[in-house]
Structure 1
Amino acid sequence: MIARIATSLAGLVLAVIPAALAAQDVAVRAGTLHTMEGPAIADGVVVIRGGKIVAVGPASAVTVPDGIEVIEAKIATPGLVDAHTVVGLAGYMNQPDDQDQLDNGAPVQPQLRAIDGYNPDEELVGWLRSFGVTTIHTGHGPGALVSGQTMVAKTWAKTADRAAIVPRAMVAANLGPWALDSEKGPGTRPKQVAMLRAALTAARGGGVSGDKKKDAGPEKLDAQVWKAVLARELPLLVTANHAQDIMSALRLKEEFGIDLVIDGGAESYLLTDQLLEAGVTVILHPTMARHYGDMENASFATAAKLREAGVPFALQSGYEGYVPKTRVILWEAGWATANGLAPEHALASITIDAARAIGVSERLGSLAVGKDGDVALFDGDPMEFSSHVTGVIIEGRVASREAR
C-alpha cells in the first residue's frame, strides 16, 4: 500500500514539473555548430549528459550514446549570455509590486542583494529564454549612486537559489545624471565621486567614524560589502556614459586598486587608450538604445570600434524604464553587425565574451567538454533578423522547442 502511494505521489510530482525542467541527456546535431572555441564546425554534434557537455566535434568523430535524443538544427550556438539586465527584479507589468531593481531609501545601499528580489517566474525571464538567453547577469539598476548587488542566474530554475550560479556578482554603482539627486543624495558629479571615495576609504581604514568605541560593535553590512570590493572579491560595476564619468571611475580604480567594470559606456569609443591601459572591460549599452540624455553621443558603431581597439566588451539588454522593460541581446548583436562588427565577433559579444565579462567563462559561453550544456538552436544566421530561435537547451534540459 505504502509503495503504491509513493509511486502515485512520484507520478503526480512528475506530472506537475514542467517538461522544461525535467533532467535529460540529449545531443544536438547542427549543420553549422558555433562552439566559440575555434572555427565553426560543419555538421557538428554536441553531447550533453548530467547537465554537462561530454563530447563536441564533427558528426564523423563523435559517437552519440544509444538511447539519447538527438535534436536537429540548421545552426547551433552556445546559450546566449546577457551581460547586464534588471530582468527578474524588474517585471513586465511595470507596477510597484514587480519593480524591485531600485530602492530610493538612500543613495548608497551596497548591502541590497539581487537574489532577495529575484523572481524566476517573472514572464520576462521566460521571454528572454525563448530567444536563446540561458544566462543573465541581473540585479539592481540605475537611479542611485550605489543601488545594490548583482547576481548571475540561469533562466530555467523555479527558485532564485536554484537559478543563481553567482549569488553575489558585482556592486552596481552609477555616475552621471542617473544618480544626481540634491534632496536624498549627491547633487553634483564631484559629490558622487566623493561619496564613493569616502565609503571605500572608511572600509579600507576599518571604520566609519574614527571613534574606536563607536565602531567596536558588529560590522555594518555596507562596510562588509565595501571590504569585499577592496579585496577584489566583488568588482565595482559603474554605469557611466559620458567620458568624464568613465574617467572618474578609472581614477577610483587606480586609487583603490579595485576591479572595475564599465557599464553603458556610450562615449567609451573616445577613451579606448585609457580603457586598454586600465585593463577594464566594458559592458556596452544596447546598440539600439535611445540616443538622448547622457546617451546623446552614443554610436551604433561603438562595438566595432571597441573591438578594433582591442578593448574587451560584451553587449547587454540593459535597463528600460518602459514596458516591456527589456531588450533582446540577439537583436542588439544583429544591429551591431549591421554597423561594422563582424558576425563572429557579434556572436562572441553575447556568448564567450559576455561570460568573460561577468566572470563565468570557465563554465559558460562556449561549447566545450566540461562546460554547462547550454545550447541555442536556429533556423538561419543568428545575426539575421529573419532567423528564428527553434530550440533552447539549458544544462541538458530542453527548455523550449518553439520557433521564435
Structure 2
Amino acid sequence: MTNLGTFVAGAFTAALLSTSALAQDIAVRGGQVWTMGPQGVIENGVVVIEDGQITAVGPATSTAIPAGMQVLEAPVVTPGLVDAHSTVGLTGYLNQPDDQDQLDTTAPVQPHLRAIDAYNPHDRLVEWVRELGTTTLHTGHGPGALVSGQTMVVKTVGNTVDAALVEDGTMVVANLGAWALDRESSPGTRAKQIAMLRQALVDARTGTDRDENDADDEDDNAFDPSRDLINEAFASVVRGERPLLVTANRAQDIMSALRLADEFGIEVVIDGAADAHLLLDELREAGVSVMLHPTMARNEGELENASFTTAAVLAEAGIPFALQSGYEAYVPKTRVVLWEAGFAAGNGLAPEDALASITIDAARIIGMDERVGSLEVGKDGDVAMFDGDPFEYVTHVTGVVIEGEVVSTASR
C-alpha cells in the first residue's frame, strides 16, 4: 500500500455536494480511496452506494456514477472507523450518576446485564465520535467487576437503540486483576477471581450437557420457571456462540485467561494487554486476538507497562489486534480511535496497519468484517472523508456517511 505520509491533496477539495440528510444513493470520490480491502489504495477513486450498500469501488476513470446521483468529494476517503471496544452510550458525557450505566457494583458476577438495556443513542458522545469518523461501535459494560455484562455492536446513528443495533450480546465481559478485586468482599484475590470464573463455566458446561441429553423430551415453547440468566450467558460462551472478552493487563492475568480458554475450549479475546510484549509467544500460540489498551490510557497501576510502541510490537509478531477507545473514568468519558491509531503510527506502527487497527482488523475481531471495515462491494456504505492524511494533527474529518446516509458534514 502507498504510505499515508506520501499523500498529496491534488486537485480535489474537501467539499460535500447536495448533502441531503436522508440520501441513500450517493457516490463518494476521493483523491485517494483507502479501501482496506483487496484493491488497496485507489488514486482518484470512487465508491458508489445504493440502498445503503456499496455497489461499486474503483478508479474514477472506469467506475460509472449513475446519472443524477449525489456526489461527495474529499482528498482522502476511508471506510467508516470501527471502535473495537468502547463504553460510549453507557458512559454519558455529563459524568453524573444518572448517565453512568457501564458498571453495576451490587454483585461481582453479572453476565446477564445487556448493553442494549443501557445504551443511550442520544448521548452527545455518540454524536461526537461519529463526527470524528467512527461509524461502528463495539460497546458495553466496563471494568470494575469480575463479570460486568454483555457487549453489543451498534452504528453511531439511530433515534432508538433498536435502530442503531447491529448485534446484541456480542461478547461477555470479564475483568481480571486489581480493577475487579474487592478486598472486603469477593473476589478478594486473583485466585478467587479465577475460581469463580471456573465454577461458572463448569456449571454452564454441566447444564449444557444436560440440556443436550434432554432436548428430545422438551417442548421448546414451554415456559421454564427454572431459567437462570447468569448460567445461560455463560452457557453461550461454553457452546462457542460468543467469546469471553477478558480485560487483563498484567502478564499473570493474561496467562490465567489463556489457561481458562484452553481448559474449557472457549474463545477468549484479550482486552488491555499492557504486558503483551512479555507474552508474544504465548499469545501467538494460543491464537487469540488482542484489543490493545488505548495509547492515551494513563500508565499507572495495572497499566504501568503500557507503551506507545506495543501496537507495533504486536504487528511485528503477527498477533491480531485492534485499537480501542476503552473506558475513560474522567470527562469527556471517551477517547477517539482516530487519535489512538495516529499516535500508534507515530510510534513504530506502519500507517496502513494503524488504519487497519480501527477498520478491517477491528471489524474482524468483533465478527463484523462481512459488513464493515473495508470499502468492498456488498458491504455497508460507511465512509469517512478527510481533507488530508488522517493521522496528521492538522487534518479534519469533513464528512461521514453511514449506510448511504450523510450523517455529518462538520469539519472536525
Shorter-chain TM-score category?
over 0.9
SS in 1 for 2:170: coil
Distance 1:110 1:192 in 2: 14
Which one of 216, 236, 239 corresponds to residue 244 of structure 2? Answer: 236
Q: Which runs of 5+ in 2 are unaligned?
A: 1-18, 209-223
Q: Partner of 1:353 in structure 2?
A: 361
Where in structure 1 do 4 or more consecutive aligned residues deviate above 2 Å? 182-185
Distance 1:127 1:197 in 2: 39
Shift in alpha-carbon separation, 1:133–1:403, aligned structure 2, 3 A: same
Q: Is the 8 A contact 1:21 1:156 kept in 2?
A: no
Distance 2:225 2:238 in 1: 21
Distance 1:378 1:237 in 2: 33
SS in 2 for 1:172: strand
Q: Partner of 2:123 in structure 1?
A: 122
Q: CA deviation at 1:24?
A: 2.0
Letter in 2 for 1:115: I
Overall identity of the aligned pairs, in %: 65
Alignment of 1:39-78 (within 5 A): 39-78=40-79
Alignment of 1:1-400 (within 5 A): 22-38=22-38, 39-206=40-207, 217-400=225-408
Shift in alpha-carbon separation, 1:189–1:145, aligned structure 2, 3 A: same
Q: CA deviation at 1:228?
A: 0.3
Q: CA deviation at 1:84?
A: 0.4
Q: CA deviation at 1:265?
A: 0.6
CA deviations on 1:179-199 (whole Å, 9 max, x unpaired) are: 000334201000000000000
Q: CA deviation at 1:162?
A: 1.2
Q: CA deviation at 1:23?
A: 4.2
Distance 1:298 1:235 in 2: 24
SS in 2 for 1:200: helix
SS in 2 for 1:206: helix
Distance 1:362 1:234 in 2: 17
Q: CA deviation at 1:146?
A: 0.1
Distance 1:270 1:166 in 2: 34
Q: Is the 8 A contact 1:51 1:395 kept in 2?
A: yes
Q: CA deviation at 1:269?
A: 1.3
Letter in 1 for 2:367: G
Distance 2:190 2:325 in 1: 26
TM-score by length of 1: 0.92
Q: CA deviation at 1:61?
A: 1.2
Q: CA deviation at 1:284?
A: 0.4
Letter in 2 for 1:248: S
SS in 1 for 2:258: helix
Q: Is the 8 A contact 1:314 1:357 kept in 2?
A: yes
SS in 2 for 1:112: coil
Q: CA deviation at 1:20?
A: 7.6
Letter in 2 for 1:389: V
Q: Is the 8 A contact 1:313 1:349 kept in 2?
A: yes
Distance 1:301 1:96 in 2: 35
Q: CA deviation at 1:219?
A: 2.1
TM-score by length of 2: 0.90
SS in 2 for 1:361: coil
Q: CA deviation at 1:21?
A: 5.7
Distance 1:126 1:268 in 2: 33
SS in 1 for 2:326: coil
Letter in 2 for 1:243: A
Letter in 2 for 1:191: K
Q: CA deviation at 1:251?
A: 0.2
Q: Which runs of 5+ in 1 are unaligned?
A: 1-18, 208-215
